[in-house]
Amino acid sequence: MTSKALLAATALVAITLSLPATAAELTVGFSQIGSESGWRAAETSVSKSEAAKRKVTLKIADAQQKQENQIKAIRSFIAQGVDAIFLAPVVSSGWDAVLKEAKEAKIPVVLLDRDIDPSGKELYLTAVTSDSVHEGAVAGEWLAKTVGGKACNVVELQGTVGASVATNRKKGFDSVVAKNANLKVVRSQTGDFTRAKGKEVMESFIKAEGGGKTICAVYAHNDDMMVGAIQAMKEAGLKPGKDILTVSIDAVPDIFKAIAAGEANATVELTPNMAGPALDAIMAYKAKGTVPPKWIQTESKLYTAADDPQKIYDSKKGLGY
Amino acid sequence: MMSRLLQSRGLAQIIALLVILAVDRAVSPQFFDLRMQDGRLFGSLIDVLNRGAPVALLALGMVLVIATRGIDLSVGAVMAISGAIAASLADTHGLPLALAAALGAGLLCGLWNGFLVAVLGIQPIVATLILMVAGRGVAQLITEGRIVTFTAPDLVWLGNGAVLGVPAPVVVVLGMLIVTGAVVRGSALGLLIEATGGNARASELAGIGTRGMILAVYVWCGLCAALAGVIAAADIMGADANNAGLWLELDAILAVVIGGTSLFGGRFSLVLAMVGALIIQAMNTGILLSGYPPEFNLVVKAAVVLVVLLLQSPRFANVGVVLGRARQ
């Protein structure tokens, strides 16, 4: 009883302290896709901590990659009368009916990480997503800046053929290459976003490019492929990070281990913190009626050896990646 | 003449492999270059052997299953399970235990498949589909959806080590090939397996324990798959339950079929299944070396497989003979 009272008292104090932001305690329902990747697991755990930071009650429903489960979860959130609904949509279409129900119940919906078909634009408040074209561009700009004006042959490990993330990350990188005559993508193959394929493809790149002597940098669409590529370079007697520069995307913990060991140079973060900006938008909307922009772009932050990679590794490894 | 030549066992496969290697040499002039790197042979040809090792191991088990007129779709999932177990135990419990647990899991998976097929009489494609779907989930439960990494040097050696310059995975495949060959061809066992596949009922009446045969080949297939999973995990120093062995069951079946073993059972060749696995990998490596855009990968692969299978088709060979005569 005492502990409960204490808890209530602390909550009360916290609410009074942060009164301008939260008029009343909010309850948010979050329909998460599932836990198909380490990033997704990290997103879930970061969402919990971000909600706790803001004293928001977050109810998470794991849909196990099924749209019908997500629709069920949203309906149950509506029935419970939550203050807002977060949705990480597993597919881009088929949401109109359930989102209309949410709109009729006057519950704002925020999309996390993925967008839905344009037809549903008026059905949600805002979408918090990363711009994967921009991620590719950030990677390219780091490389352009690092090599200066020197000629640089780049090999590229693409994601799964046809995946929109892979297409966009390639597009962003290519746009920077097009502006810098000294950069040239000499080889580009798919590594299917996996370590094993990244390693296999890098092995063949090394052989095809004179034992790797003519390769100046590797660009991988995700960190996992780069971890595989780093092993391939080491086994070929090359020094990744020194003989061959590396830049990849996602910022998973293992790439920070490699950066700390001097075997990788840079990574662009796909932040697992989509819920933080979404919560801020909802709280402002609820408190003052501020309507957020239709798209909140998350930061694509670049990390290098200058950012204390060991410390970032330690802080990220517990997130479930 | 040409028809008889192509039908002499194994020639079509060997020719196909040589042609693909020649094409690889044409797209990448360094293809046959070999040098030593950190006590290990280094070159594209070694990549073909090394990268082909998991599929070769799968094919070694699969060829016996197919010889009994069965099929095992679960080998990719078994790879994921055994890799996950080995990676989770390697750093804390040492190699012997990690290896024993991983291979033991493979044996259990094989036993389960064999039980469903031999004892309950479920059709192999359905029986093994169960583990194909559920097995990956089991592997994900073991790794909790993460990529479990390890540093235990003795397990890493299985992926990156070498014996007299030959990569460890290739040595493992050779060892398994010799053991399997000695067991099934050094005794009447191979013949009994073929008899079971040719006509199970007749074999049963002739006194062959067909149930035991079928159970045994699925168990062996599970063991081979587990070994392939350990090698795949050792190669990347981690277990990736979502991707390890994904779709490799299809490559293994393809390797067996390219090796001239009929899906209707009744006869098999271990060595030609290995050649089949090499054909697939020589083609994959060649595609990677060629520098074509990745959108072409699957199209090229499909075209090559079609040509190799046509080369083996007796009817196609006859068409060639008829055309040859017409020209004369």
Annotate A12-76 with DSSP letters as a single string: HHHHHHTTTT-SS--EEEEEE---SSHHHHHHHHHHHHHHHHTT-EEEEEE-TT-HHHHHHHHHH
The interface residues of chain A toward chain B in range 50-109, judged by CB-CB distance below 8 A, are none
Instruction: Say whether A94 sits in a helix, a strand or coil.
Output: coil
pLDDT of residue A16: 43
Mean pLDDT, range A41-59, rounded to an integer: 94
Query: Is 50 exceeded by the pLDDT of residue A17?
Result: no
Mean pLDDT, range A45-62, rounded to an integer: 95
Whether chain A has a CB inside 8 Å of the CB on B242: the answer is yes
Query: Is 60 exceeded by the pLDDT of residue A130?
Result: yes
CA angle (A138 as vertex; A136, A143 as ends), nearest 5: 95
Q: Which residues in chain B touch residue A190, judged by CB atoms under 8 angstroms apart?
A: 294, 297
pLDDT of residue A23: 47
Mind listing the pLDDT tens digit for each residue in A72-119? 999 999 999 999 999 999 988 899 999 999 999 999 999 999 888 877
Query: Is 70 exceeded by the pLDDT of residue A10?
Result: no
Whether the domain at A2-129+272-290 and the domain at A132-270+305-319 fall into the same CATH topology: yes
Q: Which residues in chain A touch residue B294, judged by CB atoms under 8 angstroms apart?
A: 158, 161, 188-190
Mean pLDDT of chain A: 91
Band (A4; pLDDT cuts 50, 70, 90): low
pLDDT of residue B24: 96
Q: Which residues in chain A touch residue B149, judged by CB atoms under 8 angstroms apart?
A: 254
Mind listing the pLDDT tens digit for each residue in A274-286? 999 999 999 999 9
Query: Is 80 exceeded by the pLDDT of residue A37?
Result: no
Q: Which of B69, B281, B15, B240 is nearest to B149 (CA)?
A: B240
The residue among A185, A204, A255, A319 with the most chain B CBs within 10 A of its CB, best to mutate, is A204
* CATH superfamily, with its number, for domain A132-270+305-319: Response regulator (3.40.50.2300)
CATH 2.40.50.140, domain A2-129+272-290, yes or no = no
CA atoms within 13 A on the CB side of A59: 15
Q: Any residues with CB less than 8 A from the CB of B198 and at least 6 apart, and which?
A: B265, B266, B267
| CA dist., res. B118 & res. B131, Å (int) | 16
Considering only the beta carbons, identify the residue of B238, B244, B294 that sits closest to A158: B294
CA angle (B141 as vertex; B136, B143 as ends), nearest 5: 95
Residue spans of the domains in chain B: they are 39-320
Q: Residues of chain A with pLDDT > 90: what percent? A: 82
pLDDT of residue B328: 61
Considering only the beta carbons, identify the residue of B44, B240, B285 that sits closest to A195: B240
Segment-wise mean pLDDT, segments of 10 residues, chain B, 328 residues: 60 93 95 93 96 98 97 98 97 96 98 97 97 95 90 95 96 98 96 95 95 97 98 96 94 95 93 96 95 91 90 78 68
- Angle, in degrees to the nearest 10, between helices B44-67 and A195-208: 140
pLDDT of residue B319: 78
Mind listing the pLDDT tens digit for each residue in B148-182? 999 999 999 999 999 999 999 999 999 999 999 99
Mind listing the pLDDT tens digit for each residue in A235-274? 999 999 999 999 999 999 999 999 999 999 999 999 999 9
How would DSSP label each residue in A106-163?
A: T--EEEESS---GGGGGGSSEEEE--HHHHHHHHHHHHHHHHTTS-EEEEEEE-STT-
- Count of CB pairs separated by less than 8 Å, A with B: 82
DSSP 8-state symbol, B115: I
Q: Residues of chain B with pLDDT > 70: what percent? A: 96
pLDDT of residue A21: 44
Query: Is 60 exceeded by the pLDDT of residue A203?
Result: yes
Residue spans of the domains in chain A: they are 2-129+272-290, 132-270+305-319
| CA dist., res. A201 & res. B261, Å (int) | 30
Nearest CA in chain B to A318: B146
Q: Which residues in chain B touch residue A231, judged by CB atoms under 8 angstroms apart?
A: 160, 236-237
Is the predicted ipTM greater than 0.90, yes or no? yes
CB contact under 8 A, B145 and A38: yes
pLDDT of residue B316: 81
CB contact under 8 A, A194 and B243: yes
Q: Which residues in chain A touch residue B43, judged by CB atoms under 8 angstroms apart?
A: 207
In CATH, the number for domain B39-320 is 1.10.3470
| CA dist., res. A175 & res. A191, Å (int) | 21
CB contact under 8 A, B147 and A38: yes
CB A190 within 8 A of CB B297: yes
Q: Which residues in chain B touch residue A36, judged by CB atoms under 8 angstroms apart?
A: 145, 242
Greatest extent of chain B over all pairs of C-alpha atoms, in Å:
72
pLDDT of residue B231: 98
